[in-house]
């Protein structure tokens, strides 16, 4: 018998969540964001399930090439563009769309072979202040690229810093309008939060990520409320059960001390599987279909669950860490992080099955 942990990927949920994107942004083409191995779900698996998307967006060049070689004909965009001249050759050969966010990348493009033609996403910094051209740089770069013989197609792109919170997108949209209102070029602006909350950002292409995986981009709105279905379910089983007497502690550092007789289940899942080590006592977990809480510190291969209200639970009882029945958003919030981080951290040692 293998160790009981497994991740299950629900391919129908991918399709369902893409339909939610379409319902919100009916006129936009979709770049399905599948960076970071599709947020831990497996890039080829996600691409297959989301094959009705008009494009894919990621930043790993090798994965983009694998998609092309597997026969996907859609637009495939490199969100951070190329990291060196060799990537540019690969992009030309495989018809990858490339973000251009810096003067170095403009120079690389200009130095490409004369017969190379690129689909370029011109990245504008409207306030996120990571990548992209500032207001001061924009006009000159725009003119240079628009006329350049290596550029076959130009799309304007920006990224929102606060689409999920009270600051919103207006301040960045105003910046974009100041720079680009005169241009009729296609635009690609919205991440999941903007797709769900700001129709005025939808434009020509949208870039949903986390919502395709069935998680919420908002701290205060659940995925279920948004009509999203979890794609990944991380499940395991109890491999031991014990009874703590009052005053006894459990796990490293004795971080949980029993105040009364406490039945505890030991779950075959730890931080080496991708479960967050900083999840404190009280993090939600489902045992035998019933919601309970973790107790004490998460170890490398195990964690502990409170069985006081689940007398029927014993060795072999199924446990859901996150997914169907318990959103990764809730586990993440208890652990002081976001579901993105949990999904991406799924460890290679966890076997994955598809349903
Ligand atoms: C990751 C990413 C997205 C997707 O963001 P979500 O919040 O997961 O929807 C969109 N655009 C860019 C540039 C990204 O890096």
- Ligand 1 atom nearest to 191, measured from its CA: 9
pLDDT digits (tens, 9 = 90+) for 314-331: 999 999 999 999 999 999
At 175 the three-state DSSP class reads helix
pLDDT digits (tens, 9 = 90+) for 10-36: 999 999 999 999 999 999 999 999 999
Q: Give the contacts of 72 (CB within 8 A, at least 6 positions apart).
A: 47, 51, 56
- Residue 303: half-sphere exposure toward Cβ, Cα within 13 Å: 33
Sign for the CA dihedral angle at 333, 334, 336, 341 comes to negative
> Annotated catalytic, 252?
yes
pLDDT digits (tens, 9 = 90+) for 73-131: 999 999 999 999 999 999 999 999 999 999 999 999 999 999 999 999 999 999 999 99
Distance (angstroms) between ligand 1 centre and the Cα of 207 equals: 6
- Ligand 1 atom nearest to 211, measured from its CA: 9
pTM: 0.96
- Ligand 1 atom nearest to 192, measured from its CA: 9
Q: Which of 72, 123, 198, 252 is catalytic?
A: 252
Distance (angstroms) between ligand 1 centre and the Cα of 354 equals: 24
CB under 8 Å, gap of 24 or more: what pairs does 168-173 form?
Answer: 168/197, 168/198, 169/194, 169/198, 169/201, 171/127, 172/126, 172/127, 172/128, 173/126, 173/200, 173/201
Neighbour tally for 28: CB within 10 Å: 24
User: Residue 183: pLDDT above 90?
Assistant: no
Q: Ligand 1 pocket: which of 34, 97, 191 to mutate (most atoms <8 Å of CB)?
A: 191
For residue 350, which of 285, 273, 282 has the smallest C-alpha distance? 273
- CATH placement of domain 11-213: 3.20.20.10
For residue 53, which of 100, 19, 102 has the smallest C-alpha distance? 19
Same fold, 11-213 and 232-354: no
Q: What residue ranges do the domains of the chain occupy?
A: 11-213, 232-354
Q: Ligand 1 pocket: which of 39, 59, 78, 79 to mutate (most atoms <8 Å of CB)?
A: 79
For residue 59, which of 45, 44, 80 has the smallest C-alpha distance? 80
- Ligand 1 atom nearest to 217, measured from its CA: 7
Residues with beta carbon inside 6 Å of ligand 1?
33, 35, 79, 159, 191-192, 207-210, 217
- CATH placement of domain 232-354: 2.40.37.10
pLDDT digits (tens, 9 = 90+) for 35-63: 999 999 999 999 999 999 999 999 999 99
> Annotated catalytic, 72?
no
Distance (angstroms) between ligand 1 centre and the Cα of 58 equals: 9
């Amino acid at each position: 018998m293998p160790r009981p942990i497994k991740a299950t990927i629900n391919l129908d949920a991918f399709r369902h969540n893409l339909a939610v994107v379409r319902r919100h942004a009916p006129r936009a083409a979709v770049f399905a964001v599948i960076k970071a191995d599709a947020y831990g779900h497996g890039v080829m698996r996600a691409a297959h399930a989301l094959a009705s998307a008009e494009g894919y967006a990621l930043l790993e060049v090798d994965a983009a090439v694998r998609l092309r070689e597997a026969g996907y004909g859609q637009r495939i965009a490199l969100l951070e563009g190329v990291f060196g001249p060799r990537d540019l050759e690969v992009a030309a050969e495989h018809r990858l769309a490339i973000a251009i966010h810096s003067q170095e990348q403009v120079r690389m493009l200009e130095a490409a072979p004369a017969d190379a033609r690129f689909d370029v996403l011109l990245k504008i910094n409207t306030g996120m202040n990571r990548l992209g051209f500032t207001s001061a740089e924009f006009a000159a770069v725009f003119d240079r690229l628009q006329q350049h013989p290596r550029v076959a197609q130009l799309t304007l792109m920006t990224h929102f810093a606060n689409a999920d919170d009270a600051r919103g997108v207006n301040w960045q949209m105003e910046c974009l309008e100041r720079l680009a209102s005169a241009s009729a070029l296609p635009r690609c602006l919205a991440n999941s939060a903007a797709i769900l909350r700001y129709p005025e950002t939808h434009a020509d292409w949208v870039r949903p990520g986390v919502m395709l995986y069935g998680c919420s981009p908002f701290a205060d709105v659940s995925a279920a409320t948004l009509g999203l279905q979890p794609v990944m379910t991380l499940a395991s089983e109890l491999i031991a059960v014990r009874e703590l007497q009052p005053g006894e502690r459990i796990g490293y550092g004795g971080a949980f001390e029993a105040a009364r007789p406490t039945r505890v289940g030991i779950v075959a899942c730890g931080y080496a599987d991708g479960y967050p080590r900083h999840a404190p006592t009280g993090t939600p977990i489902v045992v035998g279909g019933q919601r309970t809480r973790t107790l004490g510190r998460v170890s490398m291969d195990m964690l502990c669950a409170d069985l006081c209200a689940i007398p029927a639970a014993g060795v072999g009882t199924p446990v859901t860490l996150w997914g169907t029945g318990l959103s990764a958003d809730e586990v993440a919030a208890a652990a002081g992080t976001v579901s993105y981080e949990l999904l991406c951290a799924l460890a290679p040692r966890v076997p994955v099955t598809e349903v």
